Amino acid sequence: MMAYDDYGREYSSSIRRRALSARASAAALGRTRRICLALPETTERLSHGSPTFFIRDKHTFVMFMDDHHSDGRLALWIAAPEGAQEVLISADAQTFFRPPYVGHRGWLGVRLDRKLQWDAVAALIDDAYAVVAASKTARKPVKR
């Protein structure tokens, strides 16, 4: 199927799909960024080529992945409370998955290219923040 650009030139529908995907990715990143950066002591920077959100500029709690290694997913990889990964994947394997590299530590993959409500995404991000912030605070030695 052929489509036409603003100047009347033909281009393939696969190019149109990529353009729509780029817009969806930019919108999802913008929403993710607003949610993450509203939390205390958070920063964003690229890590391994992807936008990543940190607590106190050191501890990762959310990674934004757009077609990571051509997996076709627009997703977040987020720290999750113990046991949440298994429960959520069992409940909805179309939306949730075990991400590579960090999944063995209980992190959760959340597909943003599904019909998930952003309130639910925000709640998952809040949980990720709480898990990482609590674990890093608990490990600090007490100065006497």
Task: Give the pTM.
Answer: 0.81
Q: What is the pLDDT of residues 30-84, one digit of tens each?
A: 999 999 999 999 999 999 999 999 999 999 999 999 988 888 899 999 999 999 9
Is the pLDDT confidence value at 144 over 50? Answer: no
Q: How confident is the model at residue 98 (pLDDT cuts 50, 70, 90)?
A: very high
Domains of the chain, with CATH numbers? 33-138 (3.90.1150.30)
Closest CA to 121 of 88, 99, 98, 90: 88
The answer to whether 94 and 137 have CB atoms below 8 angstroms apart is no
pLDDT at residue 140 tops 70: no
